[in-house]
Amino acid sequence: MYTLNCKGRLLVIEQPIVMGILNITPDSFYSGSRTATNDTILAKAEQMLQEGATILDIGGQSTRPGSTRLTPAEEAERVVPAIQLVKKNFPACFISVDT
């Protein structure tokens, strides 16, 4: 058994769990995973949580071949609003950030 302390909330992992991926990138390799608006972020987050995701992982840097590297400030501009949006609408959700 593993546990993660997430801001005072324990995530107990006794069996495999599902992590949903929210790509907050305009140039992600797979166009179907891109979430460019608040509505698409919320819709995808809700869908993944309903389908059993325990953690939502939010990423702002594309790793597709030929992608442009972002500065930390540019990446933060992408992911911080999405983190705030998900946290506000799904407060019980565990969030990780892919940087």
pTM: 0.85
Under-50 pLDDT residues of the chain: none
Distance CA 21, CA 4 (A): 19
Strands 9-13 and 2-6 come out as antiparallel
Radius of gyration of the chain (CA): 14
* DSSP β-bridge partners for residue 11: 4
Looking from the CA of 49 toward its CB, the CA atoms found within 13 Å total 18
pLDDT, tens digit (0-9, with 9 covering 90-100), for 70-92 = 899 999 998 999 999 999 999 99
Distance CA 51, CA 41 (A): 15
